[in-house]
């Protein structure tokens, strides 16, 4: 894998000049074609031996292409609020839109390579993190984010020689970092660790390319060639199913049909229970232990099922600084130019906070499925992607609870009519609502499949009978309070 690079091949100035001219023109043209089509993002992961010229490559790419459409994304060890979200959060939130290019330093490979190059690598960690990366990259590829991974490599001798040459003059000595000087002693470990990581994570849709880096001309040429090849690639490559997150087969039951829709609570009991539950919620949310956790609440259900009212009963118990409500409707153009989960990754709460989603990423397997806004393969894939997403949320300390507020068609009709009549509620009813109502069965089938496929221990669904609004509100609060009291 590294044989060619460790032979330290070089290109003379005479060989390089015509190549450079040709590659620069081709790169610019390819870049503009992608900007125009705007159907894919390109993420160029920069990794490799320290002192192989990774930093210089950023300058090269910015000089050879139109830098206005390239974003350099550089990350150090996770810190501050990054530690309060899943490890992939910082990469998700910074994804450039389709048509654009991102250059990634300190990518999701950095911790993996450090581990693999350590004296006693933790094989379990390597296997788990590699698998997580494969799922991440498969999802990106399927959603139009192309990942190209460059490993800058050279022989141990060339690495040392380069550092010594630079150190010899005060005009260049500053280019050598303390890390560069430590490479020589650990070269074999880094090399072998990298080999394992690259083998684990090479794929047709997110390939590794080794760049011989001892010679600047060679490095620049091979980098440009790799980027050019990636930019010219059309369409989404076939992604073997084994790369995707997947869920086990599930029996789909008509859960919505089997619910008891007559459940109710009388008004006095309601007032009292509501107050007591809100008090418990307020205490849990103010507790010291919640400072290391977060709460993510997802609300789905038929139109007019009472999501807004239930949400207000929750926020009433919380400090305004502590919660954030994200109402979810059709994605705007800004959001459509990224993978569908992107807009939700951006709203993940910090520790000690509550994120409430009024509709959510489940739109993927509900409205987008039923209204045929996406291909069947896309929503079929989404169950496992969503499970994977929520597993990451739970692993980062979030308590994830999902509510389906369920009503019957007759109650919906009643509420629609009431909304139409009320001068201050009629904004809540639109022609869409009436149209959706005609597809009641399709939505119910989609909801039943969703409930079956995504009801997981780390992010359970609660199916709540909501023909009686008060009953539903108390149930929702009770589930939240129980989960928080259990887990804190």
Applying CB under 8 A, among 124, 260, 288, 424 the residue interacting with a copy of itself is 424
Site string for a copy of itself, 105-124 (x = CB under 8 A): xx------------------
Q: How far is the CB of 298 from a copy of itself (least distance, A)?
A: 17
Contact 432, 304 (CB under 8 A): no
Q: How far apart are CA 434 and CA 152, in angstroms?
A: 58
Tell me: does residue 278 bind a copy of itself (CB under 8 A): yes
Tell me: does residue 324 bind a copy of itself (CB under 8 A): yes
Tell me: does residue 24 bind a copy of itself (CB under 8 A): yes
170 contacts: CB under 8 Å, gap ≥ 6: none
Applying CB under 8 A, among 238, 248, 427, 457 the residue interacting with a copy of itself is 427
Applying CB under 8 A, among 327, 430, 432, 434 the residue interacting with a copy of itself is 327
Q: How far apart are CA 100 and CA 86, in angstroms?
A: 25
Q: How far apart are CA 112 and CA 135, in angstroms?
A: 15
Tokens of 414: 């009643």
The sign of the torsion formed by the CA atoms of 214, 219, 221, 226 equals positive
> By CB under 8 A, what part of segment 172-191 binds a copy of itself?
172-175
Applying CB under 8 A, among 4, 7, 28, 123 the residue interacting with a copy of itself is 28
Applying CB under 8 A, among 131, 167, 181, 282 the residue interacting with a copy of itself is 282
CB-wise, 204 or 327, nearer to a copy of itself?
327
Stretch that binds a copy of itself, among 254-262, 391-399, 405-413, 421-429 (CB under 8 A): 421-429
Q: How far apart are CA 308 and CA 476, in angstroms?
A: 12
Q: How far is the CB of 33 from a copy of itself (least distance, A)?
A: 12
Q: How far is the CB of 319 from a copy of itself (least distance, A)?
A: 7
Stretch that binds a copy of itself, among 215-223, 245-253, 255-263, 312-320 (CB under 8 A): 312-320
Tell me: does residue 171 bind a copy of itself (CB under 8 A): yes
Applying CB under 8 A, among 4, 202, 319, 420 the residue interacting with a copy of itself is 319
Stretch that binds a copy of itself, among 181-189, 229-237, 422-430, 437-445 (CB under 8 A): 422-430
Q: How far is the CB of 127 from a copy of itself (least distance, A)?
A: 28
How many residues make contact with a copy of itself (CB under 8 A)? 57
Q: How far is the CB of 379 from a copy of itself (least distance, A)?
A: 25
Length reported for the chain: 488
Sequential DSSP letters for 417-473: HHHHH-TTTGGG--HHHHHHHHTHHHHHHHHHHHHHHH-BTTB-EEEEE-SSHHHHH
Q: How far apart are CA 411 and CA 305, in angstroms?
A: 9
Among 366, 347, 267, 282, smallest CA distance to 319 is for 282
Tell me: does residue 292 bind a copy of itself (CB under 8 A): no
Among 58, 53, 97, 98, smallest CA distance to 74 is for 58
Q: How far apart are CA 32 and CA 65, in angstroms?
A: 9
Stretch that binds a copy of itself, among 150-158, 293-301, 319-327, 391-399 (CB under 8 A): 319-327
Q: How far is the CB of 14 from a copy of itself (least distance, A)?
A: 19
What's 298's DSSP letter?
E
Site string for a copy of itself, 40-79 (x = CB under 8 A): --------------xxx-xx--xxx-xxx---x-xxx---
Question: How many Cα atoms within 13 Å fall on the side-chain side of residue 485?
Answer: 13
Stretch that binds a copy of itself, among 122-130, 292-300, 316-324, 430-438 (CB under 8 A): 316-324
Tell me: does residue 320 bind a copy of itself (CB under 8 A): yes
Stretch that binds a copy of itself, among 221-229, 277-285, 365-373, 453-461 (CB under 8 A): 277-285
Q: How far is the CB of 24 from a copy of itself (least distance, A)?
A: 4
Sequential DSSP letters for 223-239: HHHHHHHHHH--SPPP-
Q: How far apart are CA 455 and CA 452, in angstroms?
A: 6
243 contacts: CB under 8 Å, gap ≥ 6: 134, 135, 137, 138, 203, 205
**CB burial of residue 233 (10 Å; 0-12, 13-18, 19+):** middle
First and final CA of the chain: distance in angstroms? 49
Q: How far is the CB of 339 from a copy of itself (least distance, A)?
A: 20
Tokens of 75: 């990350």
Q: How far is the CB of 168 from a copy of itself (least distance, A)?
A: 12
Query: Rule CB under 8 A: which residues touch a copy of itself?
Result: 21, 24-25, 28, 32, 54-56, 58-59, 62-64, 66-68, 72, 74-76, 80-81, 105-106, 169-175, 271-272, 274-276, 278-279, 282-283, 308, 312, 315-317, 319-322, 324-325, 327, 329, 334, 423-424, 427
């Amino acid at each position: 894998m590294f044989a060619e690079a460790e032979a330290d091949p070089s290109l003379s100035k005479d060989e390089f000049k015509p190549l450079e001219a040709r590659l620069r023109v081709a790169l610019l043209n390819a870049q503009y074609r992608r900007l125009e089509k705007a159907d894919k993002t390109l993420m160029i992961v920069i990794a490799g031996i320290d002192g192989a010229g990774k930093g210089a490559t950023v300058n090269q790419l910015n000089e050879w292409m139109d830098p206005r459409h390239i974003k350099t994304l550089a990350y150090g060890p996770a810190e501050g609020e990054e530690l309060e979200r899943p490890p992939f959060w910082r990469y998700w939130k910074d994804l450039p839109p389709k048509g654009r290019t991102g250059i990634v330093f300190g990518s999701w490979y950095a911790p993996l390579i450090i581990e693999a190059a350590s004296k006693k690598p933790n094989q379990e960690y390597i296997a788990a993190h590699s698998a997580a990366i494969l799922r991440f990259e498969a999802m990106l590829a399927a959603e139009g984010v192309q990942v190209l991974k460059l490993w800058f490599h050279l022989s141990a001798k060339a690495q040392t020689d380069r550092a010594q040459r630079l150190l010899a003059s005060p005009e260049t000595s500053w280019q050598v970092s303390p890390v560069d000087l430590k490479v020589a002693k650990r070269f074999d470990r880094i090399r072998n660790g990298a080999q394992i990581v690259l083998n684990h994570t090479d794929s047709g849709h997110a390939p590794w390319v080794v760049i011989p880096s001892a010679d600047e001309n060679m490095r620049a040429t091979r980098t440009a060639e790799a980027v050019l090849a990636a930019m010219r690639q059309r369409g989404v490559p076939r992604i073997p199913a084994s790369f995707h997150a997947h869920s086990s087969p599930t029996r789909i039951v008509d859960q919505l049909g089997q619910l008891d829709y007559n459940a109710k609570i009388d008004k006095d009991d309601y007032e009292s229970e509501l107050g007591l539950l809100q008090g418990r919620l307020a205490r849990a949310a103010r507790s010291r232990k919640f400072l290391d956790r977060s709460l993510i609440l997802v609300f789905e259900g038929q139109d007019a099922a009472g999501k807004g009212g239930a949400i207000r009963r929750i926020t009433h118990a919380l400090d305004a600084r502590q919660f954030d409500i994200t109402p979810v409707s059709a994605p705007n153009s800004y959001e459509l130019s990224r993978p569908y989960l992107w807009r939700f990754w951006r709203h993940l709460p910090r520790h000690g906070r509550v994120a409430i989603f009024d509709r959510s990423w489940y739109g993927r397997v509900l409205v987008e499925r039923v209204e045929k806004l996406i291909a069947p393969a896309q929503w079929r894939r989404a169950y496992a992607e969503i499970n994977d997403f929520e597993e990451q949320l739970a692993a980062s300390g979030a308590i994830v609870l999902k509510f389906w507020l369920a009503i019957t068609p007759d109650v919906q009709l009643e509420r629609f009519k009431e909304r139409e009549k009320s001068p201050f509620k009629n904004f809540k009813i639109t022609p869409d609502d009436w149209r959706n109502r005609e597809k009641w069965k399709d939505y119910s089938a989609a909801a039943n499949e969703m409930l079956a496929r995504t009801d997981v221990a780390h992010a359970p669904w609660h199916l709540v009978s909501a023909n009686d609004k008060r009953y539903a509100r108390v149930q929702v609060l009770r589930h939240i309070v129980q989960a928080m009291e259990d887990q804190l």
